[in-house]
């Protein structure tokens, strides 16, 4: 059986890698062409090429589900077209055993995908995004399009920009009473640096609001004690899907502890953590197509069907994500239900074909 496992693994995994390489190359070229519209005096074609190259690990991670689905269909379809699967089954090997042989190399790909998603893609993506902003703006600041808001209890903060080393610029603080109904004070700091366990804000102007009016004063420094570390602040301005699962969980728990909405980060967390289940369900459906309704179909039909199923699973997850906010169910179900439904569909087709 080891020889059979190696033979099936070589065919299927080879097809998956070929598809992944082609899709990644196409995505790279499209992303580079898209960057041409953003070129200016400080952001040249070489800078755009570097930026797109730094985003390759994230693009690799995003394309894995489609590559697994299409590659599995192509690999198994090639074996079916040459009647090798028929010979294997005639030798007494069950469909389930063949699927196990397909799943084994997929485990290695899933492990590689997890390593890329946890350790490589977040680092290279942040580096690339920061580099792009620095070159396009011609300054040293990393910032969002319109700044970033953050709530800490009854205090609301606005950060105009943040450097790659975590230094803050343009910090506005709005303090309300315990009921969050009356404004107590407004403070503005030119910049802030993190020291030990607190932020030290410099060039602070404070306006106190009470029944007698508004009183404004200045202070050279102001200590802001908070659990919001530079690493957590960077997570505020970075798109959740670019973060590692461990970072998503850490920041999601931070938001929950403060009664803030953590849905977007937890949704991205479960999407990454349940990636192996999603990939396994796609492989199962691919195998069921080859052994079932698409047994004698042309290769193009199999590939088209694989793309449709892969996109359908993705779109269902994207639709159920916002729905979980509206109807109040946990984000994990937005990812889990389409994956389980896909696996169930594949298992039914395999049972009928067996």
In the chain, where the domains are located: 2-137+265-353, 154-226
Q: pLDDT tens digits, the chain, 354 residues: what are they?
A: 788 999 999 999 999 999 999 999 999 999 999 999 989 888 999 999 999 999 999 999 999 998 998 899 899 988 988 889 889 988 889 889 999 999 999 999 999 999 999 999 988 988 888 788 778 866 545 454 456 888 888 889 888 877 756 788 889 999 998 877 889 999 999 999 998 888 999 999 999 988 778 889 999 999 988 888 888 877 777 788 888 999 999 989 988 888 888 888 999 999 999 999 999 999 999 988 888 766 667 767 877 887 788 888 888 988 888 888 788 888 999 999 999 999 999 898 888 876
Statement: the pTM of the whole predicted model exceeds 0.85 = no
Asked if residue 321 lies in contact with residue 108, where contact means CB atoms within 8 angstroms, the answer is: no
- Looking at the DSSP bridge assignments, the partners of residue 198 are 195, 225
CA distance 203 to 122: 33
> What is the SS3 assignment for the chain?
CHHHHHHHHHHHHHHHHHHHHHHHHHHHHHHHHHHHHHCCCCCCHHHHHHHHHHCHHHHHHHHHHHHHHHHHHHHHHHHHHCCHHHHHHHCCCCHHHHHHHHHHHHHHHHHHHHHHHHHHHHHHHHHHHHHHHHHHHCCCCECCCCCEEEEECCEEEEEEEECCCCCEEEEEEEEECCCCCCEEEEEEEEEEEEECCEEEEEEEEEEEEECCEEEEEEEEEEEEECCCCHHHHHHHHCCHHHCCHHHHHHHHHHHHHCCCCCHHHHHHHHHHHCHHHHHHHHHHHHHHHHHCCCCCCCHHHHHHHHHHHHHHHHHHHHHHHHHHHHHCCCHHHHHHHHHHHHHHHHHHHHHHHC
């Amino acid at each position: 059986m080891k020889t059979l496992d190696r033979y099936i693994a070589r065919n299927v995994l080879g097809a998956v890698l070929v598809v992944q390489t082609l899709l990644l190359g196409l995505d790279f070229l499209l992303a580079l062409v898209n960057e041409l519209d953003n070129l200016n005096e400080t952001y040249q074609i070489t800078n755009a090429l570097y930026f797109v190259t730094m985003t390759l690990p994230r693009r690799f991670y995003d394309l894995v589900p489609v590559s697994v689905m299409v590659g599995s269909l192509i690999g198994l379809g090639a074996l079916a077209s040459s009647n090798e699967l028929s010979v294997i089954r005639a030798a007494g090997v069950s469909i389930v055993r063949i699927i196990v042989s397909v799943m084994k190399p997929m485990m290695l790909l899933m492990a590689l995908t997890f390593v890329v998603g946890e350790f490589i893609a977040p680092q290279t993506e942040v580096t690339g995004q920061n580099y792009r902003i620095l070159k396009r703006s011609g300054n040293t600041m990393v910032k969002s399009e319109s700044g970033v808001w953050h709530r800490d209890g009854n205090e609301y903060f606005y950060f105009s920009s943040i450097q790659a080393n975590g230094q803050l610029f343009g910090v506005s603080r709005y303090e309300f009473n315990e009921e969050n109904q009356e404004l107590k004070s407004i403070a503005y700091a030119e910049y802030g640096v993190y020291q030990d366990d607190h932020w030290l804000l410099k060039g602070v102007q404070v306006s106190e609001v009470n029944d007698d009016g508004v009183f404004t004063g200045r202070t050279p420094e102001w200590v802001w004690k908070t659990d919001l570390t530079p690493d957590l602040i960077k997570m505020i301005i970075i798109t959740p899907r670019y973060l590692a699962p461990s970072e998503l969980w850490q920041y999601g728990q931070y938001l929950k502890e403060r009664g803030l909405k953590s849905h977007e980060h937890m949704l991205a967390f479960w999407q990454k953590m349940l990636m192996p289940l999603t990939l396994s369900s796609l492989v199962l459906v691919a195998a069921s197509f080859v052994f079932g309704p698409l047994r004698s179909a042309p290769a193009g039909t199999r590939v088209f069907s694989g793309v449709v199923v892969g996109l359908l699973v993705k779109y269902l997850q994207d639709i159920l994500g916002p729905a979980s906010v509206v109807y109040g169910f946990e984000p994990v179900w937005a990812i889990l239900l389409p994956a389980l439904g896909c696996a169930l569909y594949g298992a039914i087709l395999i049972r009928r074909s067996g």
